[in-house]
Amino acid sequence: MPRGGGLMAPGARLRFLLAVWTLAVLARRSAGEAGDGGWQRRGPGAPAALAEEQRCAVERRADLSYSEFVQQYVRPLPLATRPTPHYAFSRPVILQGLTDNSRFRALCSRERLLDSFGDNVVRLSTANTYSYRKVDLPFQEYVEHLLYPQDPTSLGNDTLYFFGDNNFSEWASLFQHYSPPPFSLLGTTTAYSFGIAGAGSGVPFHWHGPGFSEVIYGRKRWFLYPPEKTPEFHPNKTTLAWLQDVYPTLTSSARPLECTVQAGEQVLYFPDRWWHATLNLDTSVFISTFLS
């Protein structure tokens, strides 16, 4: 208001209202990016089984050096002098504090991804062990109509899942802002696999080469077995169905290593040929770095 109590000039008032609106939009966007990125659906519908494990069985390391990561011994040594077994070739580990992906995280909010890639056609895979069937549809349609909580009675080949099959030229403007873990293995190259999936979704047990997995928004529960220990599962049953039907029947010695990876806090490394299944506890945005 001008001095003397007169009304604000129309042009000044418009600029004032525009500034207030801009600040409100930025505040809502910042709140979403700092929290769930606008991805979490409100209200009932998520399966009751979507809970974290009682105790994470995968070691967490915030101070792991590359030499420790790849350390291995060649010849037998007395037990007292053997080094701690390496991670790269023998066991999973959760790495903390290696990279700062806050910029990438901000770009992965629901609003920003829809603004940037809503019209892009994405390729969905069925959420079973072999993922034979592929379906192409616009990214916006997937986000707005298929990110509902998983039906526990659905089979894997009836559940569509956006993970991998990324068109790297179309998504390059996003991937250039991602900082992968700084550890690599001799003779391997890296490839990204980006995904977004609803609560209760996931991929049942399978194996492939080594890699890293990071959750950008949401939470992802992991179940892992070493190569020599084939898990009991049906390749067309979802991870959620396995958790409800098979997991409770397992003895303690038959249960997998398991842990929930939280958004923005840590990266899980899985070695070559380790069996693993995943379960998204929330609507989740995630990226894997495969070493092949």
**Per-residue pLDDT tens over the stretch 78-110:** 544 445 557 898 999 999 988 999 999 999 999
Q: What is the DSSP string of 46-86?
A: S-TT----SS--S-EESS--HHHHH---SS---GGGPPPPP
**SS3 (DSSP) at 281:** coil
**Per-residue pLDDT tens over the stretch 165-190:** 778 889 999 999 999 999 989 889 99
The band of 125, judged by pLDDT with boundaries at 50, 70 and 90, is: confident
Per-residue pLDDT, 10: 58
CA atoms 114, 115, 118, 124: torsion sign = negative
Per-residue pLDDT, 113: 97
Query: Which is more confident, 103 or 129?
Result: 103
Residue 2 has pLDDT above 80, yes or no: no
- Percentage of the chain beyond pLDDT 90 is 54
Q: Would you state the CATH architecture of domain 60-70+84-291?
A: Sandwich (2.60)
Q: What is the DSSP string of 2-38?
A: -TTSPPPPHHHHHHHHHHHHHHHHHHHHHHHHHTTTT
CA–CA separation, 79 and 222 (whole Å): 31
Per-residue pLDDT, 7: 54
Q: Taking the model in full, what pTM does it have?
A: 0.81
Q: Which amino acid is at 182?
A: P
The band of 53, judged by pLDDT with boundaries at 50, 70 and 90, is: confident
**Per-residue pLDDT tens over the stretch 190-235:** 999 999 999 999 989 999 999 999 999 999 999 999 999 999 998 8
Q: Extract the tokens encoding 267.
A: 């990266």
Per-residue pLDDT, 198: 92
- Percentage of the chain beyond pLDDT 70 is 79
**Per-residue pLDDT tens over the stretch 257-284:** 999 999 977 899 999 999 999 999 999 9
